[in-house]
Structure 1
């Protein structure tokens, strides 16, 4: 019979037995495959520090091995879980043979290599977790064959290439995490077809292109995190309608668009929202006040405008940052109302509103903020009012920064109770009073910035308790007294920056400064410090900037400064230092800027290092220096030849006799000259009551080629100015010949001599000598001889006379800003640092002269008034006139109403000068009339339309515009516009009609220097 007949004739129980044997045999073969695949996997592991794979041996069934799970029916491997076991190696390609595998969890190890392409054979795979390893290569393109995949997590690896578009075929995928890899290319629009997707992480890659609008089809999407890529284009507005979203993060990209006005309503589940560091525009959504589940809200560094709504319903808010936008109106209205409403957020920890346009008064309700608040930033706004004493309630506050606002009043002593405070930065406000001694209780504070306010009094000694300080900025105040050794005297201090500049500190710089090994920047400039520069500074080996100009330091420079090998900038100008310049300074290889000007240094200038660069080194104003490179224009140093042999006795006798005779001759000559000088002084005293250093009429006539018209370089109200070359030395001079027929010319001559004979400043025109004589016709002749300024007057540069076929003159922004600082520095010296206060009375562009380095020098003191020290009365040798002093357009209005001359008048003239320099418009321009003057013209353009007031030459040079759509770099554009705004605000503050309300000239110099430093990276004093 046939075999089929034989099989069919078997009893039913025999058939069942044979079927079981077949199934067991098949299962045994599958088990062998799984076991072999696991052993191959183990073979690729090269490090197993915990020994977890020791159980993978023949003594136990593989289903009992560590991390292996099998199905109960077929004893096939369904899960391999080896997470967080410190394993390293690569993933074996045999993993593709575990055909029943549903879960593969290898995260938090050190696997390298690539994802084996055989992994796509795992058709039953639902969870693939490979995150937090070092896996490289690409995602297998045919991963779509794993059609049951629900969770695919490969974040924090080294994967590269593009995101496979085939991922969109995975209709069951719910969790897709590709973050922190090296993926490039675009986000595949096909992901919009993965309709089950709930979580999509792709942050911290190098993805580019648009955010695909197809993602709006993912109605179950709860997390979309695409931050820190190179995404661009318009952000799809429809994503704001995916109501299931709880997290939306596209921060740190190049995306633009606007926020939906219904954002707080259309995203009712929103908890985390970030669009920081993008290019979003439009208005702040008022509907955000309804987002009651919101915990994190970040819109930093965009161009969002408008008013911020109340946040009283944001009970869960934890992190709120809106830094660097255009929010607020800048007016004293309800800009700050929303800030009060944040008192309801009991979980608030971080609040940053800096660099906006918020105005209004700082509400007292900030004292009621969450006790969890650790960061409060209000920088660069227009907020005014006082800091409430109740700020002490914010017990966990670590950073409080309100730099560049209009806050005023005293700094509350209660801040000293914030024991967690690490940063307190209140620079550039209007705070007054003294520094609270209670700040010494802030023992863990790292940064303390109180600069550019109106603080007075001494530095509290208690700040010596703040030994973790790395930055201490007290610059630009009215502080006085000595610098306490207690605040810089311990090696435990961590200072990297100390700024005491532009105050009234006296005494010496403490020797203890040498203990500050980490100090990088030390600025004590423009004070009244004296004594010698401490040699201990040589121990501050981390110093990069040392600024000590504008003090009364004396003595020799310590050679220990040569130990500061990291020093980049050293400014010791305008002191009383003497002796030779140490050769050690020439050995400072990092030194880029060296200013030793206006001291009493003597001897040879070194010829190495920074001294070989005339543009980086200044030694002017040291009359006894010699040598150096030719660009310094110093005389040659004398040479001394040593005698080759001793003199004979006879020669010694002859020399002695000659010496005695010469001595007698010198004595007689001295007596004769003394008598001659006495008679000359009597004559001069009878003529004008002033002692003047004279040169002859003939020498000046020769120097100017007979006062030739070819040498005429300018004319003024009291005379003419000629260029000349004096004497055999060939000194180039400017000779101001007074027109004595003009009423007041003689008084102008006396006033200018009196004003300039005892003052010295790098930004004042140097008076060399004077001449009071008669000409060849017997007429009186008076002239003033000045240092020649080769670049003429500021007037010629601001308003060049192109009709004379001159080369077009133009000053750039940096040059104008430097000259403005030069003039402010000169006025500050005249008003505050001379023995007697000097009021210039005629400050205008034609009286600002420029040397070959474009450094500004204030000249023409013909109308100057000298006030005796401690009085408000001019010196007795000057008459008081009730007439208007100065030039139309620059003369303060009070002079026209009969008020006496004062320093306030100079400040007004300076304000007009400053506005003219940066608008390019004269105060007498025909566009100005009864209802409009230069300050009002500028004021009405601030701040939004500031570009309308800027000199067109500067606009073209810097390519600035008010348009937020400019293709030019918006950040630099904003910085320049902010710089112009600051300058114009200073000019307006100086030229207000009420004299007592005008800005202090010291504050002017400080603010202009800060604006320069912020924009160009180097401060000028």
Structure 2
């Protein structure tokens, strides 16, 4: 929507044209003036320009061809005329002005990675010279104008990642020179026009993640120049057309649709294929032998279909294959021997509803050297555990639960596989010999990354794992899931297990273990399930930690146990009174009294010393932060040039610079306060006072400050922080982040890590002594990321120290004091005039979680008065999370635009996202008293990461 201010510019523009025409008599000059006016109209519809990218536009001292993002021609009739308009990843908000159609010689219109709304102007069709339109990752709505079909010189049309609706115009089939057509990640409906088959020069075509229906047009087989065809995540039906003429095709992605029938044998003719993804359809029949002709194929993904028969021997011909995913089909028979000669294979998975059988080949010291994941759960494989895996030094996950494996567990799994993180051998027929003495478990001390160890239910046909738990197992300090239940273990739990600080689940039930329950289990903060039932334990049950929660602790059928919390309903422990306990009690009381006296003296001294320091405080920032001058900061930032501008906020701008600190040149971020902005001075004071008192790995670090005057004698205030090179979270969530020419997005595990980082910072602030600190402005743009993508909470310009009994009203009348956050993130009670509280920060954090995992801002135009981001997510939980989750989290590669993995209900990623969104909902309740405490949210998120961290990677 055009702001009222833009109408006030019309007289200015008219006068500009008049003055320009009078001053410039030639026709060429007039045309240049037309371009000038068109760009100013474009600028008038941009209501938000946080990086001040368009500040040079309209400046009479700067020629039009030097405006940012503007490129002009240099020869002939194009000389001085605008030929390119490129404004990428600048967070521009507003609409695309139809005045762009007056840039007669425009060849490239590139506006990706912004927040542009409204419709795609149909007037663009008048630009006969236009060759490239790139508008992806904006918030554009409405239909794709059918008029674009008349742009016969157009080579690139990319409008992916918007909110476009309606059907695909059939007129696009007239774009005879089109080479790239990307309309992925929108809300398009209808069918794929058969006219697309007329685009004989088309090389890349993506319509993924829409709501398209109908069949895959046979006419697509005419696109002989096509290299990429991505149609995944739609509602397409019917069979897969032969497509045998697409000899240059490298990527074919038709996954997550409703396709039926068999795989056409003609796909074996597409010998340029590198990626073939047909996952999550209803395909039937056998896997054709002809796929073995795809001799440079790297990824074959066919999970969640209804394929039958055996895995074809020809798969062994795919010498460059890295990924083979055949999960959840109805395959049977043994694995083809040639499969084990695929030297580049990294992922092999046949889990789920398959019926594969047979044994594994012997170790020849050469098989699968690059293998990282070997997942064969829920099949009928038999024979010994394959020892050739010990030569796969890259192996991270070996999961073979519920098969018919026999023999012992080879110790080489521990001694050779240093990267092993998951070992699952539950429900097999594995045994251990007495001589082996669980040597393989002792060898696991070498597996420093081991997180999941499941050896449960290995008693089939009388076989069982027995012997004592080796003390060396304690060296597996990364282990999170330990399940050795339903075996014949004996002896006590070794005390070395205390080193395993990361344990989340311990299940040693149904064994012959004895002795006392080690006290160290009560100190493991992350432990959520503890089961030692049906053993021979005795003695006192601890009452702290996991043992305080009877629903998480299972200790039945251990007749010698006593005590514990009342909910366990155990008999009390008997005590034997002697003189010695009384003596110990007297000693303990004496020592305790002495310590208490010393502590009191220290507290008195500390209070006196702090009061003395406070009385001599001369600044809002600690004196160990050496002040810098205005001249030093001006020099460090090249006079605060726009080239060093990295962000703007409510009270100022942030510049990148380099200053000397302790004889070292350090790259810094300089936040310069706009003191003409009402409340900026108070913001400066608040930020200084807050950052003076806090130190935490997830908070931005202040290096120094400047409170001086500039060259004109005007007051100048600035804060200098450590520079965090990966920018803010807003940039990563809603804009393409370009690295090495590729656009990157945050994957699911990294978003979990960032969520935990922010929660850790908030917990620290809210527990701050002597007074809690309330941030008041938690949002993505205030979350900064360092080299390792560790999150740091910044911008404490609105922060408050929370006084529960404060009656001070002196600052409540100021505009700054009334600021309580940003629209969409600020708690609803703040709008009613309520005072700030830590629960207001919790609300903002809840909205942040919802935004991070749905990809939608709380101010999204989709949410009107009747709907909010909170309600939008709440209505979808839990059955429709697939529909609202950020689709970038369900992709297979690092840039969010790769081949979509399965999005079936029950997928580990969907379960993980659902759990996080439920926390976001609990934190963002309208009623403050119903909100989850930040410390509880942090614990739940840590548990989610520990539970799903392995299964959602990759």
Task: Normalising by structure 1, report the TM-score.
Answer: 0.47
Deviation at 1:248, TM superposition (A): 2.0
Deviation at 1:445, TM superposition (A): 3.1
1:177 maps to 158
For each residue in 1:8-65, what CA deviation from the matched residue of structure 2 results, as whole angstroms up to 9, or x when unmatched?
Answer: xxxxxxxxxxxxx999644445556656877999999978899998999859895899
Unaligned runs of 5+ in 1: 1-20, 79-100, 460-478, 612-616, 627-636, 639-968, 976-1013, 1015-1021
1:441 maps to 416
Which of 331, 348, 355 is residue 358 of structure 1 equivalent to?
331
User: What SS does the aligned partner of 2:488 have?
Assistant: coil
1:494 maps to 449
Q: Is the 8 A contact 2:402 2:426 kept in 1?
A: yes
User: What SS does the aligned partner of 2:252 have?
Assistant: strand
Counterpart Cα distance in 2 of 1:272 and 1:386 = 34
Q: Is the 8 A contact 1:336 1:359 kept in 2?
A: no
1:530 maps to 490
Counterpart Cα distance in 2 of 1:972 and 1:38 = 49
Q: Is the 8 A contact 2:425 2:456 kept in 1?
A: no
Counterpart Cα distance in 2 of 1:46 and 1:276 = 39
Q: Is the 8 A contact 2:346 2:373 kept in 1?
A: yes
Deviation at 1:259, TM superposition (A): 1.5
1:131 maps to 112
For each residue in 1:253-309, what CA deviation from the matched residue of structure 2 results, as whole angstroms up to 9, or x when unmatched?
Answer: 23222113xx15354443321111121111121222222232221111112111213
2:232 maps to 251
2:315 maps to 339
User: What SS does the aligned partner of 1:311 have?
Assistant: helix
1:384 maps to 357
Q: Is the 8 A contact 1:336 1:363 kept in 2?
A: yes
Counterpart Cα distance in 1 of 2:530 and 2:411 = 32
Counterpart Cα distance in 1 of 2:98 and 2:39 = 17
User: What SS does the aligned partner of 2:238 have?
Assistant: strand
Q: Which has the higher contact order (CA 8 A, sep 6+)?
A: 2
Counterpart Cα distance in 1 of 2:31 and 2:273 = 53
Counterpart Cα distance in 2 of 1:970 and 1:60 = 52
Deviation at 1:104, TM superposition (A): 2.4
For each residue in 1:477-497, what CA deviation from the matched residue of structure 2 results, as whole angstroms up to 9, or x when unmatched?
Answer: xx963477744658x823332
2:480 maps to 520
2:521 maps to 561
1:665 maps to none
User: What SS does the aligned partner of 2:553 have?
Assistant: strand
Which of 368, 391, 404 is residue 430 of structure 1 equivalent to?
404
Q: Is the 8 A contact 2:56 2:67 kept in 1?
A: no
Counterpart Cα distance in 2 of 1:536 and 1:416 = 26
Between 1:283-292 and 1:372-381, the stretch displaced more is 372-381
2:384 is the alignment partner of 1:404 = no
2:279 maps to 300
2:786 maps to none
Counterpart Cα distance in 1 of 2:40 and 2:243 = 55
1:288 maps to 267
1:678 maps to none
Counterpart Cα distance in 2 of 1:437 and 1:219 = 59
Which of 233, 250, 253 is residue 274 of structure 1 equivalent to?
253
1:989 maps to none
Q: Is the 8 A contact 2:384 2:405 kept in 1?
A: yes
Deviation at 1:190, TM superposition (A): 4.3
1:327 maps to 307
Q: Is the 8 A contact 2:546 2:553 kept in 1?
A: no
User: What SS does the aligned partner of 1:306 have?
Assistant: coil
**Structure 1 pair 406/572, CA: closer, same or farther in 2 (3 Å)?**
closer
Q: Is the 8 A contact 1:161 1:184 kept in 2?
A: yes
Deviation at 1:390, TM superposition (A): 5.0
Q: Is the 8 A contact 2:438 2:468 kept in 1?
A: yes
**Structure 1 pair 509/227, CA: closer, same or farther in 2 (3 Å)?**
same
Q: Is the 8 A contact 1:336 1:361 kept in 2?
A: no
2:537 is the alignment partner of 1:577 = yes
**Structure 1 pair 67/391, CA: closer, same or farther in 2 (3 Å)?**
farther
2:872 maps to none
**Structure 1 pair 481/557, CA: closer, same or farther in 2 (3 Å)?**
same
**Structure 1 pair 268/505, CA: closer, same or farther in 2 (3 Å)?**
closer
**Structure 1 pair 579/417, CA: closer, same or farther in 2 (3 Å)?**
closer
2:496 is the alignment partner of 1:547 = no
2:929 maps to none
For each residue in 1:960-1019, what CA deviation from the matched residue of structure 2 results, as whole angstroms up to 9, or x when unmatched?
Answer: xxxxxxxxx9968999xxxxxxxxxxxxxxxxxxxxxxxxxxxxxxxxxxxxxx9xxxxx
Q: Is the 8 A contact 1:152 1:176 kept in 2?
A: yes
User: What SS does the aligned partner of 2:196 have?
Assistant: helix
**Structure 1 pair 525/361, CA: closer, same or farther in 2 (3 Å)?**
closer
Counterpart Cα distance in 2 of 1:161 and 1:177 = 15
**Structure 1 pair 396/36, CA: closer, same or farther in 2 (3 Å)?**
same
For each residue in 1:356-410, what CA deviation from the matched residue of structure 2 results, as whole angstroms up to 9, or x when unmatched?
Answer: 23333323222443x4333333334333344334572543333333333333444
**Structure 1 pair 270/107, CA: closer, same or farther in 2 (3 Å)?**
same
Counterpart Cα distance in 1 of 2:525 and 2:266 = 58
1:374 maps to 346
User: What SS does the aligned partner of 1:207 have?
Assistant: coil
**Structure 1 pair 372/569, CA: closer, same or farther in 2 (3 Å)?**
closer
2:174 is the alignment partner of 1:211 = no
2:554 maps to 595
Deviation at 1:327, TM superposition (A): 1.9
1:157-172 matches, within 5 Å, as: 157-172=138-153
User: What SS does the aligned partner of 2:282 have?
Assistant: coil
**Structure 1 pair 255/264, CA: closer, same or farther in 2 (3 Å)?**
closer
1:597-746 matches, within 5 Å, as: 597-601=556-560, 606-607=565-566, 611=567
Q: Is the 8 A contact 1:34 1:76 kept in 2?
A: no
For each residue in 1:202-239, what CA deviation from the matched residue of structure 2 results, as whole angstroms up to 9, or x when unmatched?
Answer: 12233344334443454544432111233334444444
Counterpart Cα distance in 1 of 2:453 and 2:42 = 61
**Structure 1 pair 323/484, CA: closer, same or farther in 2 (3 Å)?**
closer
Deviation at 1:417, TM superposition (A): 2.5
For each residue in 1:407-455, what CA deviation from the matched residue of structure 2 results, as whole angstroms up to 9, or x when unmatched?
Answer: 3444454432323333333444334444344432222333334444444
Deviation at 1:545, TM superposition (A): 2.5
Task: Normalising by structure 2, report the TM-score.
Answer: 0.50
When the two structures are aligned, how many residues end up with a matched partner?
Answer: 552
Deviation at 1:534, TM superposition (A): 5.0
Counterpart Cα distance in 2 of 1:36 and 1:241 = 44
**Structure 1 pair 228/458, CA: closer, same or farther in 2 (3 Å)?**
farther
**Structure 1 pair 161/564, CA: closer, same or farther in 2 (3 Å)?**
farther
For each residue in 1:302-339, what CA deviation from the matched residue of structure 2 results, as whole angstroms up to 9, or x when unmatched?
Answer: 12111213334323323222122222325xxxx52332
2:80 is the alignment partner of 1:77 = yes
**Structure 1 pair 178/384, CA: closer, same or farther in 2 (3 Å)?**
same
2:130 maps to 149
User: What SS does the aligned partner of 2:333 have?
Assistant: coil
**Structure 1 pair 300/76, CA: closer, same or farther in 2 (3 Å)?**
same
Q: Is the 8 A contact 2:364 2:388 kept in 1?
A: yes
Between 1:238-247 and 1:146-155, the stretch displaced more is 238-247
Greater gyration radius = 1
1:946-965 matches, within 5 Å, as: none
Counterpart Cα distance in 2 of 1:258 and 1:200 = 23
